[in-house]
Amino acid sequence: MQSAQQALSNEDASRTVKKVEISPKQFKDFKSFLNIIKSEFNDFSMVDGAFRSYCNDRWRKCIVETGFPFFTDISFTVCNIKTFLKSISTHGEKFPVNVTVTESKITFEDLYGGNIEFLTANPEHSDNPFISNDDLDSTFLANVDTEKLMVKDAVPQVVVSKLKLMRGKLSSKHICINHDENDLGSGFLSISNRSEESIKTQRILSSAMIDIAEYGVRLNRPFLIPMKKNHFFNLDILPTLFNKDDLYIKCYLTDDEKIFAILNTKVNDLFVNIYLESKLCGETEVPLEGSVKKSKGKSKEKRKRVTKAVGTGTQEWSIKSINCCSGCSHDCRYCYAKEKAIRCKQLTANQWPLERIRPKDVTKRQRKYDGQVMFPSSHDITPNNFDACLTVLKNLLDAGNRVLVVSKPHLNCITAICEQLKAFKEQILFRFTIGACDDRILSYWEPNAPAFDERKTSLIHAYESGFQTSISMEPMLDAPNIDSLISELLPYVTNAIWIGKMNHLGRFGNNGDAVLRQSIENIKSGQSDDAIKAIYSRHRDNPKIKWKKEIKKVVGIPLAKMNGMDM
Predicted confidence (pLDDT) at residue 400 exceeds the cutoff of 70: yes
Q: In degrees rounded to 5, what are phi and psi of residue 424?
A: -110, 25
Predicted confidence (pLDDT) at residue 564 exceeds the cutoff of 70: no
Contact 120, 76 (CB under 8 A): yes
Q: If one looks up domain 144-279 in CATH, what number appears? A: 3.10.150
> How big is the CA angle at 129 (ends 38 and 275), to the nearest 5 degrees?
70
pLDDT at 16: 61
* CA-based nearest residue to 434, from 461, 405, 472: 472
- Tell me the average pLDDT across 192-204: 48
DSSP string across 76-124: EEES-HHHHHHHTTTTTSSS-EEEEE-SSEEEEEETTTEEEEEEPPPGG
- Tell me the average pLDDT across 539-567: 80
Grade residue 531 by pLDDT with cuts at 50, 70 and 90.
very high
pLDDT at 22: 93
pLDDT at 452: 97
What is the three-class DSSP state of 125?
helix
Over residues 92-148, the pLDDT tens digits come to 888 899 999 998 899 999 877 678 899 998 888 899 999 998 899 888 888 888 889
Q: Which overall architecture, per CATH, does domain 313-555 show?
A: Alpha-Beta Barrel (3.20)
Predicted confidence (pLDDT) at residue 195 exceeds the cutoff of 70: no
The alpha-helical segments, DSSP class H, found in 287-410 are: 336-343, 359-362, 386-398
Asked if the domains 4-138 and 144-279 are classified in one and the same CATH topology, the answer is yes
Give whichever of 11-20, 133-142, 340-349, 366-375 has the largest mean pLDDT: 366-375
Task: Please provide the average confidence, as pLDDT, over all residues in the chain.
Answer: 85
Contact 457, 464 (CB under 8 A): no
What is the DSSP code (8-state) at residue 281? Answer: B
Rounded Cα distance, 3 and 54, in Å: 44
Over residues 304-331, the pLDDT tens digits come to 333 344 455 567 899 899 999 999 999 9
Contact 54, 29 (CB under 8 A): no
pLDDT at 429: 97
Contact 256, 235 (CB under 8 A): no
Grade residue 177 by pLDDT with cuts at 50, 70 and 90.
very high
pLDDT at 45: 95
pLDDT at 213: 63
Q: If one looks up domain 4-138 in CATH, what number appears? A: 3.10.150.10
Rounded Cα distance, 38 and 15, in Å: 30
Rounded Cα distance, 65 and 219, in Å: 25
Predicted confidence (pLDDT) at residue 168 exceeds the cutoff of 60: yes
Helix and strand element counts for the chain (H, E): 16, 25
- Tell me the average pLDDT across 20-36: 94
* CA-based nearest residue to 551, from 512, 518, 502, 515: 502
Give whichever of 137-141, 226-230, 344-348, 428-432 has the largest mean pLDDT: 428-432
Grade residue 554 by pLDDT with cuts at 50, 70 and 90.
very high
Predicted confidence (pLDDT) at residue 1 exceeds the cutoff of 70: no
* CA-based nearest residue to 235, from 285, 294, 188: 188
User: For the chain, which residues make up each domain, given as ranges?
Assistant: 4-138, 144-279, 313-555
CA 115 to chain centroid, in Å, comes to 37
Q: Which contiguous run of DSSP H or E holds residue 481? A: none
- Tell me the average pLDDT across 32-57: 93
Grade residue 412 by pLDDT with cuts at 50, 70 and 90.
very high
- Tell me the average pLDDT across 236-252: 90
Grade residue 199 by pLDDT with cuts at 50, 70 and 90.
very low
Enumerate the β-bridge partners of residue 216.
190
pLDDT at 85: 93
The contacts of residue 12 (CB under 8 Å, 6+ apart) are 102, 103, 104, 105
* CA-based nearest residue to 337, from 310, 355, 363, 317: 355
- Tell me the average pLDDT across 168-179: 84
Give CA separation, 110 vs 102, 318, 363, 513, in Å: 18, 41, 23, 65
Grade residue 193 by pLDDT with cuts at 50, 70 and 90.
low
pLDDT at 566: 54
- Tell me the average pLDDT across 417-445: 96
pLDDT at 563: 55
pLDDT at 561: 56
Strand 97-101, strand 18-22: pairing: antiparallel
Give 27-32 contacts, CB < 8 A, sequence gap 24+.
Answer: 27/91, 27/92, 27/96, 27/97, 28/92, 28/268, 29/68, 29/267, 29/268, 29/269, 29/270, 30/68, 30/70, 30/71, 31/85, 31/88, 31/89, 31/92, 32/244, 32/267, 32/268, 32/270
pLDDT at 507: 77
Give CA separation, 271 vs 23, 223, 275, 332, 353, in Å: 18, 26, 14, 26, 19
Rounded Cα distance, 178 and 104, in Å: 49
Rounded Cα distance, 259 and 144, in Å: 9
